[in-house]
Amino acid sequence: VRMSRSQVQQLLAQALALHQGGRLNEAAMLYEQVLQSEPRNFDALHLMGIVSAQTGHSQLAAELIGKAIKINPLVPIAHNNRGNALKDLGQFDLAIACYNKAIALDRNYAEAFFNRGVALEGLGQPDNAVKSYDRAIELNPTLVAAYFNRGNALKDLGRFSAAVENYDRAISLKPDYAEAYSNRGAVLVELKQYEMAV
């Protein structure tokens, strides 16, 4: 059934409200309806891809968002989200290529720099990961996970004092960050600061 443009817009707005409210299955049904009427609707493909990722269907997410990108390759968040789906599949090289595209479209995209760091760690490149986290933090100094992950990468590089500083920053932004305390303790053991570690 071919819907009018305004019907499609209305349906997308309804779907997005359900999606943001965490009602993923209902949102997906509405995105499907839009796609039956307009198979090349960028928003419906992209958002359906996000729902797929949120419900653990990373392969489908990567495919749907890939289709959306073919329709409009100039939306940074779509490249970032496709990267996340590929990262979840352990396809780190492909994920990094997506994050690089997102960054090429938006040089100030802190989240894409952060995600690229995670993928670089997945490839066993902690030194490059640190550089990506540096940029993410420069762009968004309150990105707690970036300090935590940078701490982990520095720990992998044997730069223990710098790792502690990053865990401290993460904890100052999120005082109940259990993993940061735990990793900080492990690094203090490496530094033979046993009382501090306890």
Instruction: Please state, in angstroms and rounded to a whole number, the distance separating the CA atoms of residues 154 and 161.
Output: 9
Beta strand extents in 33-164 (DSSP E only): none
pLDDT of residue 2: 84
Place of tokens 């999606």: 19
Output the tens digit of pLDDT for each of the chain's 198 residues: 689 999 999 999 999 999 999 999 999 999 999 999 999 999 999 999 999 999 999 999 999 999 999 999 999 999 999 999 999 999 999 999 999 999 999 999 999 999 999 999 999 999 999 999 999 999 999 999 999 999 999 999 999 999 999 999 999 999 999 999 999 999 999 999 999 999
The answer to whether the CB of 121 falls within 8 A of the CB of 96 is no
Residue (of 77, 70, 119, 76) closest to 94 by Cα position: 119
Instruction: Count CA atoms closer than 13 A to 90's CA, side-chain side.
Output: 0
Count of C-beta atoms within a 10 Å radius of residue 146: 28
Is pTM beyond 0.85 here?
yes
Q: Tokens standing for 188?
A: 């203090």
Instruction: Count CA atoms closer than 13 A to 118's CA, side-chain side.
Output: 20
